[in-house]
A and B are shown apart, each in its own frame.
Chain A
Amino acid sequence: MKTSVIAWKALPVASLLAAGVSISSAGDIGGEITFYTHFSQFVDNGDWERWAGEFEDRYPGTDVEVLHVGNYRKEMPTRIASGDYGDVLNVLDNLPPSDYAEFYLPLNDMSLADTHTFVDRYTVDGNIYGYVYGANAEAIVYNKAAFERAGIESVPTTRSELFAACDRLKSEDIVPFQINMGAGWPMQQWDKAALLFADDGSYYDKALMDSAPYAEGKPYGESMRFVRELFEAGCTERDYTANNWDESKMLLGAGEAAMWFLANWSIPQTIVAGESLGVDNVSEDLGMFPLPVNDSGNPAVLLWPDWALGVSAKSDNPETAKAWIQFLLTETDVANASGFIPGDPRIAPEMPQLVELFAGEPRIIEASTPSSEFKQAMADARLDFMTGTYIRDLVLADDFDSAIDDINTRWSRALPQ
Chain B
Amino acid sequence: MLALNAHMQRRLVIVSFLIAPLSLLILFSIWPAIQLVWFSLTDWNGLSANKNFVGLQNYHTILIEDQALLKPLINSAYYFAGSVLQLSLATYFAVILNRKMPGSNLFRMLLFMPFVLNAVAVSIVFRDFLQIDGGLDALMHLVGLGVYTREWVQDPEIVKWSLVFASIWRYLGFQLLITYGALQAVPTDQYEAARIEGATEFQQFLYITLPTIAPILGLQLILATVGSLEVFEVPFLITGGANDTKTFIMATLEEAFEFRRVGLAAAMAVILLVFVMMVMIVQRTLFSKGERA
Contacts and interface: CB of A to CB of B under 8 A. Distances in A.
Interface of A: 74, 77, 80-81, 94-95, 99, 102-103, 181-182, 184, 238-243, 379-380, 382, 384, 387, 389, 392-393, 396, 398
B54 interface: no
Interface in B224-278: 238-243, 254, 257-261
Interface stretch (B43-51, B187-195, B284-292): B43-51
A80 B45 CA distance: 12
Given A95-B47, A393-B242, A239 B131 contact: yes
Contact of A241 (B48, B68, B238, B258): B238
Contact of B257 (A77, A103, A182, A382): A77
Interface string B48-59: 110000000000
Across the A-B interface, give the 4 residue pairs with the lowest CB-CB distance, nearest first. A379-B259, A239-B132, A241-B153, A242-B131
20 contacts: A77-B46, A77-B47, A80-B47, A95-B47, A102-B48, A103-B47, A239-B132, A241-B159, A241-B243, A242-B127, A242-B131, A379-B259, A379-B260, A382-B68, A387-B258, A389-B240, A389-B258, A392-B242, A396-B242, A396-B243
A74 B260 contact: no
Contact of A81 (B47, B133, B156, B240): B47
A392 B241 CA distance: 10
B220 interface: no
A240 B128 CA distance: 13
Size range of the interface on B? 20 to 34
Interface of B: 46-49, 68, 127-128, 131-133, 153-154, 156, 159, 238-243, 254, 257-261
Contacts of A243: 240
A398 B132 CA distance: 21
Q: Provide the main secondary structure of the chain B interface.
A: loop
B219 to A, nearest CB: 35
Contacts of B133: 239
Contacts of A94: 260
A81 B46 contact: yes
Contacts of A384: 254, 258-259
B156 A241 contact: no
Contact of B154 (A241, A380, A392): A241
Nearest to A80: B47
Contacts of A238: 132
Nearest to A81: B47
B47 A99 contact: yes
A384 B154 CA distance: 22
B226 to A, nearest CB: 27
A95 B48 CA distance: 11
Nearest to B255: A382
Contacts of B49: 102
Given A384-B254, A398-B156, A379 B47 contact: no
A15 B242 CA distance: 51
Contacts of A81: 46-47
A21 to B, nearest CB: 38
A382 B47 CA distance: 19
Contacts of B48: 99, 102
Contacts of B132: 238-239
A80 B257 CA distance: 13
Contacts of B131: 239, 241-242
Nearest to A238: B132
A242 B153 contact: yes
A382 B259 contact: yes
Contacts of A184: 240
Given A77-B260, A239-B154, A241-B242, 17 more contacts: A81-B47, A94-B260, A99-B48, A102-B48, A181-B242, A182-B242, A238-B132, A240-B154, A241-B153, A241-B239, A242-B127, A242-B131, A379-B258, A379-B260, A389-B258, A392-B242, A398-B156
Contacts of A380: 259
B257 A74 contact: yes
Most chain A beta-carbon neighbours within 10 Å: one of B46, B68, B159, B243: B243
Nearest to A410: B68
A202 to B, nearest CB: 24
Nearest to B68: A382
A69 B49 CA distance: 23
B271 to A, nearest CB: 17
A74 to B, nearest CB: 6
A104 to B, nearest CB: 12
B258 to A, nearest CB: 5
A396 B49 CA distance: 39
A143 to B, nearest CB: 22
Nearest to B260: A379
A388 to B, nearest CB: 10
A95 B239 CA distance: 27
